[in-house]
Chain A
């Protein structure tokens, strides 16, 4: 799970600090849990529901810094069992590779598991790299864009969302699965869940606790320049002999620009 700036914040409210290559969110706007991560939480809860609620334990893991407790406890309020936070100032601006290395070590420190569910991407940078790298590091298959997950006798059967339909994949477990919003709206927390969550203390781990080295958090990517692209608007009126011809001309023009 990732704590991100609220994606409903208007883009104009963000400030790009070009000298530091950083995006500065507007002050005073509370962060939220990445939306796709709530879909992943919902996927986990559905698996637990399908198993009759027993023998399934859901652990939520987040790495980062400056966690806001009433935000990151949201999955607990929805029904997850445990929250593990790896909280260190060094984790504030990790790239996907470093994040995946820290996550892999955190996951391995939790003991055996059957499945790792991730949101398909995070709404801050929208890269979607972490789950893929994570599956490599853990040495398990990665199934992306899941819209439906069923546990079978031999593993899992996953429906993957594609642009023109969906694909059904069987995989052994353990596996890393990334979840997409087509899975359905995440459930609301219940008041009882919220009260229970407020009484739970998350397990907070330091980098030392899980044996993360400086090398693990070193950047593999270099961000060379961060800037707001200048956009230019041009208007071109497409004419024609009549409406049918104008439509034809428009289609040709769009094809020329490789837009269709």
Chain B
């Protein structure tokens, strides 16, 4: 079977590469400039089956491993970071459902999510905070067979285009520690649940990031993930580990795109009578960029393969996310240095890579949070050894 997975992975990556080169790259600049949702591209991804990559086969997905998923994300991001947006947080709800949902919830939601009919988002961050999940303010008060939800969520990818959301809300506001009062729900758009206006972002444009407003929104008790209150924090943290690997993979993809452009440009641009690729200053930059990208890629694949083998991987996911996102910002800037003035002009995609890069530093837990996670894990291991 190993051979089959390898063979399937090769074919899948070849298909995604072709899609990226033929359809994504030519369309990205205009969508980025106009901040318009790439409906045709997203529909094409749904048709290919990319919404169901990690959803188990018995629920209509492909049941592929996280390593393949990370490689697909890397490849898509090489074309355009934003195109990963509709699938990213979608997969986080899918992960939470597949691992923590009741059988009935899996049967009810996962097949539609695998085809892309249900498009999901993650309703976690709030105006008051993102990384500090435990202190979230949104509440869900039980009323018979329903919960009544009130509160606001902010920076929600797929907020407008998505139709179901992984909603985290407090069902108990008095319990200590606070995170034990958080429950996870599957929230469908409906009366009392609306998306606010699209946020105008520096990068990661074209994909909708909005506020979500819950105003006496009623959600059934059968939408409580796992059928148990107080588990939302754990369900989210577990799924977000995979999210960090995805962010790392995206960073590798964007950095690779910038490097590819820089390398190609250095082989055609002449200055002082020779190609700039012949100059040591440029060569040093190219060497450093390529080395950083490869290191980030290996960290990412290592974290993904830890996940696939069933080990804890929060340390590895944190390291991959931290390193890949930092070098992505460095590489996109260095690629601009190689290009000189022309790299600063909007006619080339380089300035987009440069604007997209900071998302990976800030999103899915800021890099400062990653450092805390990494350090805590290291200290915990050291203490355990005595």
Chain B residues in 8 Å Cβ range of A73: 7, 11
Across the interface, name the chain A residue whose C-beta is closest to B14: A70
With A70-B14, A195-B62 in contact, is A190–B48 under 8 Å at CB? yes
Contact of A192 among B4, B14, B49 (CB under 8 A): B49
- Kindly state whether residue A228 has any CB partner on chain B within 8 Å: no
CB neighbors of B among A65-97 (8 A): 69-70, 73-74, 77
Q: Nearest-CB distance from B150 to chain A (Å)?
A: 40
Given known A74-B11, A195-B62, A198-B11, contact A190–B4 (CB-CB < 8 A): no
B15, A194: Cβ atoms closer than 8 Å: yes
Size band of the interface chain A makes with B: 10 to 19
- Once the chains bind, are A191 and B19 in contact (CB under 8 Å)? no
**Which chain B residues border A70 with CB–CB below 8 Å?**
7, 10-11, 14
Contact in complex: A191, B4 (CB < 8 Å): no
Contacts of B14 in A (CB 8 A): 70
Q: Please determine whether B44 and A194 come into contact, CB atoms closer than 8 angstroms.
A: no
Partner of B8, one of A74, A188, A194: A194
Q: Does A189 contact B (CB under 8 A)?
A: yes
Within 8 Å of chain A (Cβ to Cβ): is B290?
A: no
How far is it, in angstroms, between the C-alpha of A73 and the C-alpha of B11 when the chains are bound? 9
Interface 1/0s, chain B 248-274, versus A by CB < 8 A? Answer: 000000000000000000000000000
- Contact of B12 with A by CB under 8 A: yes
A13 and B283 alpha carbons, distance in the complex (Å): 23
Please determine whether B7 and A188 come into contact, CB atoms closer than 8 angstroms.
Answer: no
- B132 interface hit (Cβ, 8 Å): no
User: Among the listed A69, A185, A189, A192, which residue makes an inter-chain contact with B7, where contact means beta carbons less than 8 Å apart?
Assistant: A69
List B contacts of A69 (CB < 8 A): 7
Q: Within the complex, what minimum Cβ distance (angstroms) separates B363 from chain A?
A: 26
Which listed residue (A74, A185, A190, A199) contacts B49, Cβ 8 A? A190
Residues of B within 8 A of A189 (CB): 11, 15, 48
Instruction: Pick the contact of B48: A74, A188, A197, A198 (CB < 8 A).
Output: A188
Contacts of B8 in A (CB 8 A): 194-195, 198
B53 and A188 within 8 A (CB): no
Contacts of B7 in A (CB 8 A): 69-70, 73, 198
Which residues of B lie under 8 Å from residue A185 when comparing CB positions? 22
Q: Which residues of A contact B53 (CB under 8 A)?
A: 191
A residues less than 8 Å from B11 (CB atoms): 70, 73-74, 77, 189, 194, 197-198
User: Which residue of chain B has its CB nearest to the CB of A187?
Assistant: B47
> Is there an interface contact between A191 and B10, defined as CB atoms closer than 8 Å?
no
Chain A proximity of B20: nearest CB distance (Å): 11
Task: Point out the residues of chain B lying under 8 angstroms from A192, CB to CB.
Answer: 49, 62
Contacts of B10 in A (CB 8 A): 70
The answer for the CA separation of A192 and B64 in the assembled complex, in Å, is 11
Residues of A within 8 A of B (CB): 69-70, 73-74, 77, 185, 188-192, 194-195, 197-199
Subset of 21 A-B contacts with CB under 8 Å: A69-B7, A70-B10, A73-B7, A73-B11, A188-B18, A188-B19, A188-B48, A189-B11, A190-B49, A191-B49, A191-B52, A191-B53, A191-B62, A191-B64, A192-B49, A194-B11, A194-B12, A194-B15, A195-B8, A195-B62, A198-B11
Could you tell me which B residues sit within 8 Å of A by CB distance?
Answer: 4-5, 7-8, 10-12, 14-15, 18-19, 22, 44, 47-50, 52-53, 62, 64
Give the 7 A-B residue pairs with the shortest CB-CB distance, closest first. A191-B49, A70-B10, A198-B8, A198-B4, A194-B11, A70-B7, A198-B7
New A-B pairs, 13, CB < 8 Å, besides A70-B14, A194-B8: A70-B7, A70-B11, A73-B7, A74-B11, A188-B15, A188-B19, A188-B48, A189-B15, A191-B12, A191-B49, A191-B53, A198-B4, A198-B11
